[in-house]
C-alpha cells in the first residue's frame, strides 16, 4: 500500500501513472500547491525540499514504512520492488536510467523554465523566453531522433523512462511546440496516451 502525497503536475502525474500501470494499492493525499500546502511543517517532515511527489510505502524494506521523495527515485524504487517497467538486464536497466536522467536533468528543468517565462513571469523577459523555448525545442528534437530508432524511449519496451517523459509533453502548447514538427514523438505520445494504465493514472487526480 502506497500513500502518495501529490498534485497533478508533470512530476506528480508520473507517480499516479506508475501505480496504475503496476496495478498496486494506493491512496492519494492531495497537496494543493496553489494553497501552499507543500510548505506546511507536516509536509516538510516528509520532504525537506518541500516538493511533490512524496510516497510512503507502508510495506517497505523489512516490512516497515519507507518514505521516498523525488519522482525519478520513486519510479526506480517501484519498478525495482515490483519487477516491472524497469528491466533487470544490466545494459537495458542503465539504458532506461540514462533516459530517465535525460528527463530529470534536461526536460524537466528546461521545460519548467519555458513554462515560467512564457506564461507565469510577472514581466516579459525576451532573453528567458528565447533561451528556454529554444532549448525545449532542441530537446524535443533529441527525443524525436531517438524515437525514429525504436518504438519506446529505452530498452525496446515501455518503461519508467516513458512514464517520466510523457507528462512533460502534455504541456506542449505552453512550450510553443506543435506535434506536426516532431512526427516520431507524436506517434509515441499517442501510443503512451492510449494505454489504459496511463489513462487511469491521469484520471486519478485532477487539478482544482
Is residue 78 domain-shared with residue 159, that is, in the same domain?
A: no
* Together in a domain, 102 and 183: yes
Query: Residue 166: which domain range?
Result: 90-195
Looking at the fold, whether 99 and 185 belong to one and the same domain comes out as yes
Percent of the chain beyond pLDDT 70?
100
Q: What is the pLDDT of residues 142-154, one digit of tens each?
A: 999 999 999 999 9
Read off the pLDDT band of 109 (50, 70, 90).
Answer: very high
Count each helix (H run) and each strand (E run) in the chain, helices first: 9, 4
- Among 44, 51, 42, which Cα is nearest to 9's? 51
Q: Total structural domains in the chain?
A: 2
CA dist 37 and 189 (Å) reads: 32
State residue 208's pLDDT score.
Answer: 64
Write the pLDDT tens digit of every residue in 9-39: 999 999 999 999 999 999 999 999 999 999 9
Nearest-angstrom CA–CA distance, 28 and 77: 18
Same domain for 135 and 158?
yes
105: pLDDT strictly greater than 70: yes
Cβ atoms of 53 and 11 closer than 8 Å: yes
Strand order in the sheet with 54-57: 26-30, 2-6, 54-57, 66-69
Determine the Cα–Cα distance for residues 39 and 73; give it in Å rounded to an integer: 21
- How many Å is the maximal CA-CA distance in the chain? 53
Q: Is residue 163 part of a domain?
A: yes
- Structure confidence at residue 43 as a pLDDT band (50, 70, 90): very high
State the burial class of residue 167 (Cβ atoms within 10 Å of its Cβ: 0-12, 13-18, 19+).
Answer: buried
Residue 60: phi, psi to the nearest 5?
-80, -170
Distance CA 2, CA 102 (A): 26
Residue 5 Cα distances to 29, 44, 57, 113, 135, angstroms? 5, 12, 11, 24, 31
The tens digit of pLDDT for each residue in 171-206 reads 999 999 999 999 999 999 999 999 999 999 999 998
> Based on the domain organization, do 134 and 58 belong to the same domain?
no
121-166 tens-digit pLDDT? 999 999 999 999 999 999 999 999 999 999 999 999 999 999 999 9
For residue 47, being part of any structural domain is answered with yes
190 lies in the same domain as 96: yes
Domain harbouring 79, CATH code: 3.40.30.10
Residue 116 to residue 169: CA distance in whole angstroms: 15
Q: Decide if 208 is inside a domain.
A: no
Split at pLDDT 50, 70, 90, the class of 207 is: confident
Residue with cell 507517480: 15
Amino acid at each position: 500500500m502506497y500513500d502518495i502525497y501529490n498534485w497533478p503536475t508533470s512530476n506528480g502525474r508520473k507517480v499516479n501513472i506508475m501505480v496504475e500501470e503496476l496495478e498496486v494499492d494506493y491512496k492519494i493525499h492531495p497537496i494543493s500547491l496553489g494553497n501552499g500546502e507543500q510548505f506546511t511543517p507536516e509536509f516538510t517532515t516528509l520532504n525537506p525540499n518541500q516538493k511533490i511527489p512524496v510516497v510512503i510505502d507502508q510495506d517497505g524494506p523489512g516490512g516497515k514504512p519507507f518514505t521516498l521523495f523525488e519522482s525519478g527515485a520513486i519510479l526506480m524504487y517501484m519498478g525495482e520492488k515490483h519487477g516491472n517497467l524497469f528491466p533487470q538486464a544490466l545494459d537495458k536497466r542503465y539504458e532506461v536510467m540514462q533516459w530517465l536522467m535525460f528527463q530529470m536533468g534536461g526536460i524537466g528543468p528546461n521545460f519548467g523554465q519555458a513554462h515560467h517565462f512564457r506564461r507565469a513571469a510577472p514581466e516579459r523577459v525576451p532573453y528567458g523566453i528565447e533561451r528556454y523555448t529554444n532549448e525545449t525545442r532542441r530537446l524535443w528534437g533529441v527525443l524525436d531522433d531517438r524515437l525514429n530508432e525504436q518504438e519506446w524511449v529505452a530498452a525496446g519496451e515501455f518503461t519508467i523512462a516513458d512514464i517520466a517523459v510523457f507528462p512533460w509533453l502534455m504541456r506542449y502548447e505552453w512550450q510553443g511546440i506543435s506535434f506536426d514538427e516532431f512526427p516520431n514523438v507524436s506517434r509515441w505520445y499517442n501510443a503512451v496516451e492510449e494505454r489504459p494504465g496511463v489513462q487511469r493514472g491521469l484520471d486519478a487526480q485532477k487539478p482544482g
